[in-house]
C-alpha cells in the first residue's frame, strides 16, 4: 500500500521538491517600520533578497538580516537598476518583486503557487494592488485595481524606466485576481516627499528624451505605437502600457499644456469617481494635479539651466 501511495501521489516532501521555487526581491531605503510586515508575509518563499540603499540611516539592514542572509547594501543607481540588481541575486525559478511597504496576503500566496505550478503558466503575471492611503483603501480615482507586473520567470523579465518603473517580460502574461496590499502613504508629508523625488526623476527623463513641445502628436511616435500594437497582444491592459511606454514624457501639446493639471484632477475625481473615496479622494486628486505642475516646472528649470550653460550662450551681465 505504501508503494502504491508513492507511485500515485508521492510524499509531501517530493511534492515540495517538484514545486517551482519562488524568490522574493525587495529594495529598501529607511524601511525599518514597514519591512517586518513585508518579510513576514514572504516567509513561504524559497529565497528572499533585500537590497538596501547605502544612504539608509535607520535599522533597515538589521531588520532585514533577521529574515534572510541575502542582504546587500549598495549605492542608489535608480529604481530600475536597483531592482534589476536584486533580480540578479535571486535563485528561484520565479521572482516575486515586492516593495518594502507591501504585504502578500495568504490568498495571494495560494494563487501564486497554484498558477506557477500549472502546466500552462505564463511568463509573467500582473497583480492588482490594494493601495492603503493614510489608513484607508482607495477604491476609486484610478488607484484600484492598479495592475502591475510583479511575478515572472527568472531571466525573462527586466525592470525599465527611470521613474514609475515597471517590469517587462519577453513572453505571454496573465492576470491574478487576489490583490497585493500596498501600505504606501501614512502621512501627507510622505506623499509630498515622494512626489518631489518622482517629479525630479521625471524631469530628468523628459530632458534626456528631448521632450517635444508641439501642436500635434509626433507622427513617428504614433506610427511606432500602431506598429507595436499590431505586432503583439491587443488586450486593454497591454495597449495601455504600450501607450505609456511610447508616449510618456516624450512630447507635450502646446494647446493642452495649460489644462493638464485640471484634466488630471477631473479625470481622477470625476471620471474615475474619486469622489466616492470622500475627503481622501479629493486630496489625492488635488495632489496629483499639483504633481503635474511640479513635473513640468522642474523640466523647464533644467532645460533653461542646460541652455544657459551651453558653450557660446551669452549670459546677462
DSSP-assigned states of every residue in 134-200:
TTEE--STT-SS--EEEEEETTSEEEE-SSS-EEEESS-EEE-SSPEEEEEESSHHHHHHHHHHHHH
Place of cell 516575486: 96
Q: Are strands 129-133 and 136-137 parallel, antiparallel or unpaired?
A: antiparallel
pTM for the whole structure: 0.83
Mean pLDDT, the chain, rounded, equals 89
Of the options 3.40.50.2300, 3.90.550.10, 3.20.20.70, 3.40.50.10860, the CATH number for the domain spanning 2-184: 3.90.550.10
Q: Which phi and psi (to 5°) does residue 28 adopt?
A: -145, 145
The top-scoring range by mean pLDDT among 149-158, 223-232, 301-310 is 149-158
Q: Find all residues with CB under 8 Å of 61, minimum gap 6, and list them.
A: 52, 71, 73
pLDDT at residue number 230: 83
Helices 278-308 and 188-209: crossing angle in degrees, nearest 10, is 40
Q: Give the span between the Cα atoms of 115 and 198, in whole angstroms.
A: 34
Contact 185, 133 (CB under 8 A): yes
pLDDT at residue number 182: 97
Q: Are strands 180-185 and 129-133 parallel, antiparallel or unpaired?
A: parallel
In three-state secondary structure terms, 159 is: strand
CA neighbor of 22 nearest in space, from 108, 146, 81: 108
DSSP state letter for 171: S
pLDDT digits (tens, 9 = 90+) for 144-196: 999 999 999 999 999 987 777 889 998 899 999 999 999 989 999 999 999 99
pLDDT at residue number 15: 45
Percent of the chain with pLDDT over 70: 92
b/e code 7-27 from CB counts within 10 Å (16+ = b): eeeeeeeeeeeeebbbbbbbb
Q: Give the span between the Cα atoms of 240 and 105, in whole angstroms.
A: 27
pLDDT digits (tens, 9 = 90+) for 228-278: 888 766 677 778 878 888 888 888 999 999 999 999 999 999 999 999 999
Percent of the chain with pLDDT over 90: 73
pLDDT at residue number 163: 74
CA neighbor of 167 nearest in space, from 82, 265, 52, 63: 82
| Helix extents (H) in the chain | 2-8, 12-18, 35-40, 60-65, 79-89, 106-116, 188-209, 219-231, 236-247, 260-266, 278-308
b/e code 154-181 from CB counts within 10 Å (16+ = b): beebebebbbebbbbbeeebeebebbbb
Q: 313 falls in which pLDDT band (50, 70, 90)?
A: low
Where in the chain do CATH 3.90.550.10 domains reside?
A: 2-184
Amino acid at each position: 500500500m505504501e508503494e502504491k501511495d508513492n507511485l500515485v501521489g508521492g510524499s509531501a516532501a517530493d511534492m515540495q521538491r517538484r514545486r517551482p521555487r519562488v524568490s522574493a526581491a525587495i529594495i529598501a531605503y529607511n524601511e525599518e517600520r514597514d519591512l517586518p510586515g513585508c518579510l513576514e508575509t514572504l516567509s513561504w518563499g524559497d529565497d528572499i533578497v533585500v537590497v538596501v540603499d547605502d544612504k539608509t540611516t535607520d535599522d533597515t539592514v538589521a531588520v532585514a538580516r533577521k529574515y534572510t542572509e541575502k542582504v546587500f547594501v549598495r549605492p542608489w543607481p535608480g529604481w530600475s537598476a536597483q531592482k534589476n540588481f536584486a533580480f540578479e541575486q535571486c535563485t528561484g525559478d520565479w521572482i516575486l518583486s515586492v516593495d518594502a511597504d507591501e504585504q502578500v496576503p495568504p490568498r495571494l500566496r495560494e494563487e501564486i503557487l497554484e498558477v506557477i505550478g500549472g502546466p500552462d503558466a505564463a511568463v509573467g503575471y500582473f497583480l492588482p494592488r490594494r493601495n492603503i492611503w493614510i489608513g484607508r483603501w482607495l477604491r476609486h480615482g484610478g488607484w484600484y485595481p492598479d495592475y502591475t507586473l510583479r511575478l515572472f520567470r527568472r531571466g525573462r523579465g527586466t525592470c525599465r524606466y527611470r521613474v514609475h518603473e515597471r517590469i517587462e517580460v519577453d513572453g505571454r502574461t496573465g492576470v491574478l485576481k487576489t490583490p497585493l496590499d500596498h501600505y504606501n502613504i501614512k502621512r501627507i508629508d510622505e506623499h509630498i516627499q515622494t512626489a518631489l523625488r518622482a517629479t525630479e526623476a521625471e524631469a530628468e527623463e523628459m530632458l534626456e528624451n528631448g521632450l517635444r513641445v508641439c501642436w500635434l502628436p509626433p507622427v513617428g511616435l504614433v506610427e511606432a505605437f500602431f506598429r507595436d500594437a499590431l505586432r503583439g497582444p491587443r488586450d486593454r491592459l497591454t495597449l495601455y502600457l504600450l501607450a505609456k511606454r511610447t508616449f510618456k514624457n516624450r512630447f507635450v501639446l502646446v494647446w493642452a499644456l495649460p489644462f493638464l493639471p485640471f484634466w488630471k484632477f477631473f479625470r481622477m475625481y470625476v471620471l474615475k469617481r474619486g469622489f466616492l473615496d470622500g475627503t481622501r479622494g479629493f486630496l489625492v486628486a488635488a495632489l496629483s494635479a499639483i504633481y503635474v505642475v511640479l513635473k513640468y516646472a522642474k523640466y523647464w528649470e533644467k532645460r533653461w539651466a542646460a541652455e544657459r550653460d551651453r558653450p557660446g550662450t551669452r549670459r546677462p551681465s
